Structure 1
Amino acid sequence: GEHIKNWRKRYFILRDDGSLIGFKVQPEPGQYADPLNNFTVKDCQVMRQDRPRAFTFIIRGLQWAQVIERMFCVDTHDEREKWVAAIEYVDRNLRQDIEMAEEASTLEQQNLRDKFNLSTRKNSSSKITLDNFEFLKVLGKGTFGKVVLCREKASAHLYAIKVLKKQVVIAKDEVAHTLTENRVLQTISHPFIIALKYSFQDAHRLFFVIEYVNGGELFFHLSRERVFGEEKTRFYGAEILLALEYLHAQGIIYRDLKLENLLLDREGHIKIADFGLCKEDIIYGRTTRTFCGTPEYLAPEVLDDTDYGRAVDWWGLGVVMYEMVCGRLPFYNRDHDVLFELILADEVRFPPGLGPDACNLLTGLLTKEPSKRLGGSERDAQDIKEHAFFCRIHWDQLLTRQLTPPFIPQVTSDTDTRYFDQEFTGESVELTPPDYHGTEGPTFGLNSISEEVEQPYFQQFSYHGTTSLVGSAGSAVAAVETPLTTEAPAKGERCMVDEHDPSSGSE
């Protein structure tokens, strides 16, 4: 039949149940109830072609008893390849029978899901408890509790569980920060930010079930190498920049950027962790006043006890990039009063041999006045991305993890914990109940703490993974959920694209 000449912009989301749903603009996270288009990729055939436009692909499949072809177009070859690979991956999974799916390599499945950042949709009403997990190794310990490597029994996927003692959280006035971290992690999704799978509680503790990455902290690797060099610093700095850009677009400032909160995954990409100090509802022009952070990384405006905004994160980026490329902090003194004076008044100095672009970038990021700081304008991250230091970065490829990291962690398996402190990994994974004074009581098995007793502080704490878990690309919810141009099909075909939608416009 005669083809419709106009193309309509649509924002499509591919689910791993095979549904391909389209919206006029990017929907809010979780607001997927009323799509303009609702297709399926189950039992489909995907064909590439470069007509009538470049980077076109066609999805051919059955609707009712009729073969339907739907034509899509994206902006680049890489985008098309990403979409085709993701669609074929989902279709292949749907074709497998239950037995084959159970026998499939869980590692391969997780790696593919991470690679394509597929949005998942769960409809689980069952209660998550410790009984759902097998605890394997202690990864770390702190004031509030510990982090334990675990395996989810139902899926065999590995996760890290952060275990916080309620009494300590309450006693140290960390309830608000803990709830903020839980709330924020439920709503964000980015390839360079650690992902939350579940959160739940029992009588004594709070549990965050988060994405497990075993490449180690940047702090660990920099301590070994002393200095990263400009190329490695450029790569890590760019990935951190994209994560902060995404957070700022969501109205969130991070406020706790430091090497200890920057992890590497198995492939060598950045994952930002620990969202306890982040602040919501901070867009350009809005400010907050809370004094918080790590002393060596505090921005001058925080120390001045004045209102501050999202430019604090660009100061933090400047500090961690300075550490990477120079091998030391830009300002340091053991006496915090002296340290704070240095941050407020001292000029940043650079070692000989550091390139002019690196010096210029760090000078811009470490500018005392936030309004004059690189990234401090309404353009936010865009000003930093356009700096000469980053001129060789292909931002789209970086965001979709297509660029090879400068260092690949030398891990032999998913349970290889060589980059974690051996002081912790050799400890028992058993949990101990806190007594009324906040100290540890007699040891007993994990499964004996299974009853969830909610306290007034934590009534809304539990989260069972009902929204997208992983990654995003640019302003998209997930890497495969990018704006996609679609051509309406031939007249007379049964399709949910509205051929006469007057508000859809044409290109």
Structure 2
Amino acid sequence: MSDVTIVKEGWVQKRGEYIKNWRPRYFLLKTDGSFIGYKEKPQDVDLPYPLNNFSVAKCQLMKTERPKPNTFIIRCLQWTTVIERTFHVDTPEEREEWTEAIQAVADRLQRQEEERMNCSPTSQIDNIGEEEMDASTTHHKRKTMNDFDYLKLLGKGTFGKVILVREKASGKYYAMKILKKEVIIAKDEVAHTLTESRVLKNTRHPFLTVLEDNDYGRAVDWWGLGVVMYEMMCGRLPFYNQDHEKLFELILMEDIKFPRTLSADAKSLLSGLLIKDPNKRLGGGPDDAKEIMRHSFFAGVNWQDVYDKKLVPPFKPQVTSETDTRYFDEEFTAQTITITPPEKYDEDGMDCMDNERRPHFPQFSYSASGRE
């Protein structure tokens, strides 16, 4: 494989995802498709911790004059997630240079992938699972909704529902997510639905890295682990405010507070996982998870036994079959499944019905969100 080189580099303005201000970033576009951004112009192109780390492979580019002139949007991969990011430059010529360079890299990577597939189809198949191999032999036949039996409703929200389904051909069970595209588009939620990055507002999950525009790294996962463990140990979130702007400020600036009853080891672990600087965070160093595993909080844990599944969990779900949904709320599972064809939705994305039959609060389901 040829050495990776820089195709284009320079300053661009990148728009924040939640605090929607513009932040100057020095970006490097490389031949391998990596598109990485720094707060300052790097002296060493192999700096280990960029603020942003994307891949433009198979990306889509869009030009727009909103919210600023000379804006362009990249829909691309961030690790394994499809995301959209918004950038702005000073002149139309500069925007054209960036978009042409990005498209050229993406096209070249696509050609290389096609050549590899054509030259060594057997090696490609060797690296995929049996299920995918079956799909390749049937020329990737596209699945439709008619290929499944619909068994139970597992949950629903503003944008759609999740249903337990069984594939007719194989008898395998899946959880199918059905989205109302009209509602998503009407609410300007296309990008967030694609990335599922509405975690913060939908579940009040304090996702520090998104707020600070640090789009990379395993340290993100350790922050998330810290939030979950804090809630499990303390019975509440480490940061919470109904006003999202105040919540953002708490996440970025507030120190962690602990109940008096929490053990010293637990406080130490949570404090380490919830350090705001990802470079100093527990698990954020080169040892990654091993640093967390060595913490005194886990002194009594035999990690090899965990790996070998020898430990007996304190709670084991009593699931009897793949169709056993006893741990899903009966509010959903007791409902009858109705699949409405897209053309039967009105402009609001709701099932067509006269106004008298409409619910008083359409597109909302009660989820006990007021309880803490």
- TM bucket normalised to smaller: 0.5 to 0.7
Aligned equivalents of 1:174, 1:397: Cα separation in 2 = 44
Q: In the alignment, is the contact (CA less than 8 A) between 1:432 and 1:442 conserved in 2?
A: no
Give the letter for the 1:343 counterpart. Answer: I
Higher RCO (C-alpha under 8 Å, 6+ residues apart): 1
Aligned equivalents of 1:320, 1:146: Cα separation in 2 = 25
Equivalent residue for 1:124?
A: 138
Equivalent residue for 1:33?
A: 122
Residue identity over aligned pairs, in percent, reads 52
Going from structure 1 to structure 2, the CA distance change for 1:398 and 1:34 (only over 3 Å counts) comes to same
Equivalent residue for 2:200?
A: 293
Equivalent residue for 2:185?
A: 170
Q: RMSD of the TM alignment (CA)?
A: 3.5
Equivalent residue for 2:358?
A: none
Equivalent residue for 2:248?
A: 340
* Cα offset, 1:174, TM superposition: 4.1
Aligned equivalents of 1:438, 1:393: Cα separation in 2 = 53
* Cα offset, 1:405, TM superposition: 2.6
Aligned equivalents of 2:174, 2:349: Cα separation in 1 = 27
Aligned equivalents of 1:173, 1:359: Cα separation in 2 = 41
Going from structure 1 to structure 2, the CA distance change for 1:332 and 1:34 (only over 3 Å counts) comes to closer
Give the letter for the 1:349 counterpart. Answer: K
Superposition pairs of residues 249-288 of structure 1, within 5 angstroms: 276-277=196-197
Equivalent residue for 1:149?
A: 164
SS in 2 for 1:151: strand
Going from structure 1 to structure 2, the CA distance change for 1:379 and 1:308 (only over 3 Å counts) comes to farther
Aligned equivalents of 1:155, 1:402: Cα separation in 2 = 32
* Cα offset, 1:428, TM superposition: 1.8
* Cα offset, 1:292, TM superposition: 7.2
Superposition pairs of residues 69-468 of structure 1, within 5 angstroms: 120=131, 121-122=133-134, 123-125=137-139, 126-179=141-194, 276-277=196-197, 293-294=200-201, 296-300=204-208, 302-303=210-211, 305-310=212-217, 311-399=219-307, 401-434=309-342, 435-442=345-352
Aligned equivalents of 1:155, 1:292: Cα separation in 2 = 33
Aligned equivalents of 1:296, 1:440: Cα separation in 2 = 26
Aligned equivalents of 2:259, 2:312: Cα separation in 1 = 28
Give the letter for the 1:293 counterpart. Answer: L
In the alignment, structure 1 segments of 5+ residues that lack a partner are 1-30, 38-117, 181-275, 278-290, 444-507
* Cα offset, 1:146, TM superposition: 0.5
Q: In the alignment, is the contact (CA less than 8 A) between 2:151 and 2:165 conserved in 1?
A: yes
Deviations 1:429-469 (A, max 9, x none): 111234351323359xxxxxxxxxxxxxxxxxxxxxxxxxx
* Cα offset, 1:33, TM superposition: 3.3
Deviations 1:336-364 (A, max 9, x none): 34333332333222223322222111000
Going from structure 1 to structure 2, the CA distance change for 1:319 and 1:124 (only over 3 Å counts) comes to same
Q: In the alignment, is the contact (CA less than 8 A) between 1:300 and 1:368 conserved in 2?
A: yes
Equivalent residue for 1:259?
A: none
Aligned equivalents of 2:182, 2:324: Cα separation in 1 = 32
TM-score w.r.t. length of structure 2 = 0.52
Aligned equivalents of 2:173, 2:145: Cα separation in 1 = 14
SS in 1 for 2:122: coil
* Cα offset, 1:397, TM superposition: 4.6
Going from structure 1 to structure 2, the CA distance change for 1:293 and 1:32 (only over 3 Å counts) comes to farther
In the alignment, structure 2 segments of 5+ residues that lack a partner are 1-119, 354-372
Going from structure 1 to structure 2, the CA distance change for 1:179 and 1:157 (only over 3 Å counts) comes to same
TM-score w.r.t. length of structure 1 = 0.39
Give the letter for the 1:347 counterpart. Answer: D
Going from structure 1 to structure 2, the CA distance change for 1:34 and 1:134 (only over 3 Å counts) comes to closer
Aligned equivalents of 1:347, 1:367: Cα separation in 2 = 9
Equivalent residue for 1:287?
A: none
* Cα offset, 1:177, TM superposition: 4.8
